[in-house]
């Protein structure tokens, strides 16, 4: 199990679509956070979606697939961003998560 996940907004976190870079153990990647709809997608470094995997935080549904994406880790990243969003009231610049 991952002990920590580092999550950083890439560029300005003030828009409707925020790109986040994440690192966990030997894994790393990107996710996009669609702020108005509270949806997350795995993406490349340019914000282009990988596969059709979608996590909808409003409904709690996760649908689709993305090759090479760990679904559990993807969910943990989304949850960390949502927790930081709830605390700040806006997309956070960082949303690191620690597990014990």
Q: Domains of the chain: which residue ranges? A: 4-98
Contact 47, 33 (CB under 8 A): no
Question: CA 99 to CA 18: how far, in whole Å?
Answer: 24
**pLDDT tens sequence across 5-34:** 999 999 888 889 999 999 998 899 999 999
pTM for the full model?
Answer: 0.93
Residues 6+ apart with CB under 8 A from 1: 99
**Average pLDDT along the chain:** 94
Maximal C-alpha separation, the chain: 33
């Amino acid at each position: 199990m991952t002990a920590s996940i580092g999550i950083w907004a890439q560029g300005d976190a003030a828009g409707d679509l925020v790109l986040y870079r994440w690192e966990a153990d030997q894994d790393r990647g990107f996710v996009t956070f669609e702020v108005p709809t509270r949806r997350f997608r795995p993406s490349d470094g340019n914000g282009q979606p990988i596969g059709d995997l979608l996590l909808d935080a409003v409904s709690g549904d996760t649908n689709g697939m993305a090759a090479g994406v760990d679904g559990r880790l993807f969910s943990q990243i989304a949850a960390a961003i949502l927790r930081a969003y709830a605390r700040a009231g806006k997309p956070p610049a960082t949303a690191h998560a620690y597990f014990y």
